[in-house]
A = this chain, B = another copy of it.
């Protein structure tokens, strides 16, 4: 009896229309972040792009500046009970609960595929203790094909009463500092927006040796079904992402830009090239596209195309000239 469910092959969408002549232009979109040489500033955000391979049938991964994989922990994690996602006004809540295959399986099963592409792979990771963070960092340090690490510090620390690492400057310093000593890879620290003053955490991460900062992670939120009176998420509380949060993200990037020297990666509600450019203007050297990937698998590529167009139209010579050039 055929107990295994037969998988039908997923047939890809028609490939994107070839952009003629891009290669001929002198336009230089490259940017160096944290020592990672990106051919352009467009990345995909952790948790919204799987391990990369899920999107390979739909977009040309080679065009991305970098891709950031789903957050990894030391051991595989099951994640939270369903329902895990719910749409909200111009956004969505997710309570995936950091489900992932674990750093080891990633290296063995997913990385070989990603190595085939001419795109930087950045590995997002987390732990529930400083030790776990360091262990994961060490494991990832030793392998080929990883261009850099992105530390998700919006995670509760089991050693300190499940206080989130990223909401306390002291904890932030300690975990970043410890990880810094555990890896030679470029280290990006990803900041939480659920905080009174994000610049304090940004400075703590800078002091602790981060090479770059990415922001923002999701805003804490919830939703209720008025018919059942139950939370719409199995985990009650989840993370809000999508266009709804863009104004908050822009403001935080601008604040952090004014208070630290590190290069910044802007994240939050980026759907279009204009959105991405807004982030550059307030201080982001690169951007990550998250929820938009769900709405349109080719969003990141369209955003890249749009940035190229903007640069040409406005005769911007390189990314640096845009970063933080807000006219206030």
Contacts and interface: CB of A to CB of B under 8 A. Distances in A.
A244 interface: yes
A231 B88 contact: no
B90 A90 contact: yes
Given A237-B251, A247-B91, A224 B167 contact: no
B196 A328 contact: no
B327 A229 contact: yes
A131 interface: no
Nearest to A277: B226
B221 A248 contact: yes
Contacts of A238: 247
A103 to B, nearest CB: 29
A245 interface: yes
A210 to B, nearest CB: 20
A78 interface: no
Contact of A248 (B219, B229, B246, B274): B219
A220 interface: yes
A276 B291 CA distance: 27
A318 to B, nearest CB: 16
A222 B282 contact: yes
Nearest to A252: B220
Nearest to A226: B277
A325 B197 CA distance: 33
Contacts of A237: 251, 254
Contacts of A248: 219-221, 240
A250 interface: yes
A281 B282 CA distance: 39
11 contacts: A93-B247, A196-B196, A220-B251, A221-B246, A221-B251, A223-B250, A226-B277, A226-B278, A226-B281, A229-B325, A243-B244
A317 interface: no
Interface in A280-322: 281-282, 310
Interface in A154-178: 167
Given A91-B247, A221-B250, A244-B245, 19 more contacts: A88-B243, A90-B243, A91-B244, A219-B247, A219-B248, A222-B247, A222-B250, A222-B254, A222-B282, A223-B250, A224-B282, A226-B281, A226-B310, A228-B327, A230-B326, A230-B327, A231-B328, A240-B248, A244-B244
A320 B90 CA distance: 31
A228 B328 CA distance: 11
A224 B91 contact: no
A256 B268 CA distance: 26
Contacts of A197: 167
A269 interface: yes
A245 B91 CA distance: 10
Contacts of A254: 222, 236-237
Interface string A230-266: 1100001110101111111011001000000000000
Contacts of A223: 246-247, 250, 278
A194 interface: yes
